[in-house]
Amino acid sequence: MKKQERMKILLDEKEYELGELTLNQWNKVKEINMSEQNLTDPEFISLMTDIPLDEIKQATIPQIGFVAKVLESWFTNTTQQKPVRQMVEYKGEMLGLTQPSQMTWGEWTDLEVLFSQEKKNLQHICAILYRPCETYSIKTLERTIVKYNYDECLERSKDMGDFPMSVIYSSVFFFMNYAKLLTNKQKDSMEVKKKKMTELLRRTKGHTKKN
């Protein structure tokens, strides 16, 4: 599995390597935006990088402004569609993405409820979509993941704050589109069944009158 290249920034002649944008960072920025607070450039850089505010303030104003713009672009880029990752190593454990064709009814309906909520609990969604692998092959991406259990996923969701935002965003986008497609197919199927039933009743009624 190809390792992601890490972005580096330079502040006050010190180089800092960034990890992937996490769910916790994403949620914090969203909460601040919703509360209509204004983050200063140094505060935003500190939030995105975990670099202490005092260290950031040692850099020049133009340098801080430049780094803040780079990080804003990096933050925005996270929401752009990327290939869905089938497996992700997280905190020393290999997690595998559940496959739509193998999803249980309970798993599917719980995800539907979580997706429909205005304020989506991405950590809970993440814990359902990506579950620990029992067996896996990095070469073929074939894997078997632990069976779905609501309570176990809810418990694991508490520890998903450091999960890469770009990974879950792409997966959520994929599953929401899949759900839409499935719903449309079910709707079409119901319409066909309804028409057949109406036609059958019409014929039965006509046959009864003749007799």
Predicted pLDDT at 13: 83
pTM attached to this predicted model: 0.75
At residue 153, does pLDDT exceed 80?
yes
Do residue 49 and residue 135 come from a single domain? no
Mean pLDDT, rounded, for 134-156:
95
Of all residues in the chain, the percent with pLDDT exceeding 90 is 44
Q: Cβ contacts of residue 156 below 8 Å, gap of 6+? A: 127, 131
pLDDT of the residue at 52: 92
Parent domain of 63: 8-77
- How sure is the predictor about 99, in pLDDT bands with cuts at 50, 70 and 90? confident
What pLDDT shows up at residue 166? 87
As for how many domains the chain has, the answer is: 2
Spatial CA neighbour of 86 closest among 157, 142, 125: 142
Biggest CA–CA distance in the chain, Å, is 97
Same domain for 70 and 92, yes or no, is no
Residue 200 lies in a domain: no
- From 27, 57, 77, the end of a domain falls on 77
Q: What is the pLDDT of residues 159-194, one digit of tens each?
A: 999 999 989 988 888 887 766 766 555 555 555 555
Partner residues linked to 130 by β-bridges: 97
Higher pLDDT, 21 or 146: 146
Is-contact 132 145, C-beta < 8 A? Answer: yes
At residue 81, the pLDDT reads 65
Q: Same structural domain for residues 71 and 148?
A: no
Average pLDDT, the chain: 83
- C-alpha of 82 from chain center: 11
Give the residue with greater pLDDT, 19 vs 42.
42
Give me the pLDDT at residue 163, please.
Answer: 95
Amino acid at 22: T
Co-location of 73 and 93 in the same domain: no
**Shared-domain flag, residues 167 and 119:** yes
Single residue among 29, 53, 77 that ends a domain in this structure: 77
Residues 91 and 177 in one domain: yes
Euclidean distance between CA atoms 65 and 45, whole angstroms: 10
Distance CA 141, CA 143 (A): 6
**Looking at this protein, which amino acid is placed at residue 181?**
L
| pLDDT tens column, 75-86 | 887 767 678 899
Does one domain contain both 92 and 178?
Answer: yes
